[in-house]
Chain A
Amino acid sequence: MLEIKNLTAAIEGKEILRGVDLIVPDGEIHAIMGPNGAGKSTLSYVLSGREGYEVTGGSATYNGQNILDMPPEARAAAGIFLAFQYPVELPGVGNANFIRTAVNAVRRARGEPELDAVAFLKAARAELKKLSMPDDMLKRNVNVGFSGGEKKRNEVLQMALLQPGLAILDETDSGLDIDALKIVAEGVNALRSSKFSALVITHYQRLLDHIVPDRVHVLSSGRIVRSGGPELALELEAHGYAGQAAAGQEAA
């Protein structure tokens, strides 16, 4: 379970998160929606441990562990996965080598046996098939020359193989056409179980047609200003974000 309490965080002294409270129980998918500049990406980076984001107050625990003090690799080992809004290109690093190194690093940290090259390739090929990705995706350099859709599918491939307990999807729908969107959504839905939870960060409602969330939260000016069921996403789509912050202030 992810538990965030009164979390505040700043970049270069500028406060972006101003007291976020959020609980994502195991087995649930929660969506975070909000206007540009609300702090959505900052929340995802703070939870995954990117440098340059200073936590100024509050707490975030995953399965009872304080994650904010952990280096990014330890968070990954604990089961947290961030699907990047802009996946990073790694020229000279083969995709298969990268993913296998990651999978084995995480398996080692979790006390599980490492996968040899044959076992890894078998597992990777099975996932590629589900994602309608060609096998040669593994031979290419990580994200180099990938289209926007291929990059996002590569994120989902990594997620499927790393088997996280908590996935944070940062605007995974941006830059995707409807077919790619469906494939990505299927990849997330395939992981759904009582032990898997996800935080789906998105600006638009359309991804939520395919990954139906249990709860929807509105992040505005660094705070969760409203929470509700899936119908809240539809309401936001119809009426926009204007007025949400004010409504949240009154409620708080």
Chain B
Amino acid sequence: MTALPTRKLEAWRYTDLKSLASVSFADAVPGLAPLGLPDLGVPRLIFVNGIYDAQRSTPPDFLSGFARVAEASDQPLALINAEQAHDGVTITVPDDTDAGAVLLISYAAAENPIAFHPRHRITLGMGARLTLIEIAMGQGVYWHNPVTDIALHENAKLQHYQLQNESIEAFHLATIRAKIAASAAYVSFSMVQGAKLSRAEFHPTLMGVGAVTQLNAAQLLRGQQHGDYTCVVKHDAPNCASRQVVKSVMDDHARGVFQGRIEVARAAQKTDGYQMSQALLLSDGAEMDIKPELEIFADDVKCSHGATIGALDPEQIFYLRSRGISEDQARAMLIRAFLNEALEPVSHAAARGLFEAAIDKWWAEK
């Protein structure tokens, strides 16, 4: 197996996989999905321990089976995934087709630590549309290492919403790569609440004129959790736009990482890049590491980035309390308000409800 990356690699400076390396994982065994998994009233694909559960799933159109593909990158986790993958979803939406919404649930639970490496492929033909909603959840110790390869042809639009709510003992290391053709749009919102250690790595490449990506995220972590949201946005064509709003709320001794890199190639004139990362630290022991990077080779571009780290404002809390709102509810309202901007791209009503319920639950469980 390809070796795990270490902190000696610049891309892994803030996330140490030693705790993952110290666990010995068995291959995944089939398991039973519990009753009452989330149901959003749309076609639903269920994976248990990384294995497709045909009985419980209500497959969407345009679904085909898993196909092994050679890994072209040198990304360690994608290489490991390529070596180990034996299941995954392939959805290919034909040209000019609106495939609606699909829910993909990964549930994991086993007596002993297991590892699974699903490989998903989402392809949208010209002018095609799809909303993909993913939920990752489970119990106990496991390592979930999914790779999702996305190809969007001209004018296609994928709305990709992810709720990472893995077991508090789990490791979640996801790689999402998107090739975005001219005038196509990749809109992503990712909410991170679970796992002992997690990293979501996004690699969207704007390949054609007028391609657009929105990469938003919200990390809500507490206890000893470590969450890493890393993006490398490549602008390879002119007149493309990328937008990122990443909000992190860290409590207790949680540690959050945001690495955001925007690479603008020489050909990518008139690039419009925007990146904002904001963190709220709710306790003295919480930590946030933010590393924005811009690498610009074109000379006519607009790229901006910003980062803030702060605490809840006592003036705002007092203002709310002076109106009769309890301190707990005041904090909840301010955190909710803080997250609002990141949630903006979630236009799908059921997905929106899913995330809002997840935020409320996170706060109620403190």
Q: Which residues of A contact B (CB under 8 A)?
A: 48-51, 71-73, 75-77, 81-82, 84, 87-88, 90-93, 98-99, 101-103, 105-106, 109, 158, 162
Stretch at the interface among B184-192, B209-217, B223-231, B310-318: B310-318
Q: Determine whether the beta carbon of B326 is less than 8 Å from that of A76.
A: no
Q: Is B297 an interface residue (CB 8 A)?
A: no
Q: Determine whether the beta carbon of A90 is less than 8 Å from that of B321.
A: no
Interface centre among B324, B325, B329 (most CB of A within 10 A): B324
- A81: B residues at CB distance < 8 A: 322
**A50 to B338, alpha carbons, bound, how many Å?**
23
Interface centre among B313, B322, B327, B340 (most CB of A within 10 A): B322
Q: Determine whether the beta carbon of A48 is less than 8 Å from that of B322.
A: yes
Main secondary structure of the interface of A (DSSP, over half): helix
- A72: B residues at CB distance < 8 A: 318, 321-322
- A93: B residues at CB distance < 8 A: 333-334, 337
Q: Determine whether the beta carbon of A91 is less than 8 Å from that of B337.
A: yes
- Pick from A51, A88, A99, A105: contact of B316, CB under 8 Å: A88
**A204 to B193, alpha carbons, bound, how many Å?**
53
A92-B340, A93-B337 in contact; A49/B325 too (CB < 8 A)? no
- Pick from A92, A99, A103: contact of B336, CB under 8 Å: A92
What are 10 residue pairs bridging A and B, where the CB atoms are less than 8 Å apart in the complex?
A73-B322, A87-B319, A88-B315, A88-B318, A92-B340, A102-B324, A103-B324, A105-B325, A105-B326, A162-B324
Closest to A45 in B: B318
Count A-B contacts at CB 8 Å. 74
Closest to A103 in B: B324
Shortest CB–CB separation between residue A94 and chain B, in angstroms? 9
**A82 to B322, alpha carbons, bound, how many Å?**
7
| Interface of chain B residues 307 through 354 with chain A (CB within 8 A) | 313-316, 318-327, 329, 333-334, 336-341
A88-B316, A101-B329 in contact; A73/B337 too (CB < 8 A)? no
Q: Determine whether the beta carbon of A105 is less than 8 Å from that of B314.
A: no
Q: Determine whether the beta carbon of B341 is less than 8 Å from that of A92.
A: yes
- Pick from A48, A73, A75, A92: contact of B325, CB under 8 Å: A73
- A87: B residues at CB distance < 8 A: 319
Q: Determine whether the beta carbon of A51 is less than 8 Å from that of B325.
A: no
- Pick from B316, B321, B338: contact of A73, CB under 8 Å: B321
- A88: B residues at CB distance < 8 A: 313, 315-316, 318-319
- Pick from A51, A76, A84, A90: contact of B324, CB under 8 Å: A76
- Pick from A50, A51, A71, A102: contact of B323, CB under 8 Å: A102
**A171 to B284, alpha carbons, bound, how many Å?**
36
Closest to A142 in B: B319
Interface centre among A73, A76, A99, A101 (most CB of B within 10 A): A73
**A90 to B319, alpha carbons, bound, how many Å?**
9
- Excluding A81-B322, A102-B324, 4 further A-B contacts by CB distance (< 8 Å) are A50-B322, A73-B322, A105-B326, A109-B324
Shortest CB–CB separation between residue B346 and chain A, in angstroms? 15
- Pick from B322, B336, B337: contact of A76, CB under 8 Å: B322
**A90 to B318, alpha carbons, bound, how many Å?**
12
Q: Determine whether the beta carbon of B324 is less than 8 Å from that of A105.
A: yes
Q: Determine whether the beta carbon of B324 is less than 8 Å from that of A73.
A: yes
- B326: A residues at CB distance < 8 A: 73, 105
- B320: A residues at CB distance < 8 A: 90, 98, 102
**A48 to B322, alpha carbons, bound, how many Å?**
7
A51-B314, A71-B327, A101-B329 in contact; A90/B322 too (CB < 8 A)? no
Q: Determine whether the beta carbon of A101 is less than 8 Å from that of B337.
A: no
Contact with A along B36-51 (1 / 0, CB 8 A): 0000000000000000
- B324: A residues at CB distance < 8 A: 73, 76-77, 102-103, 105-106, 109, 162
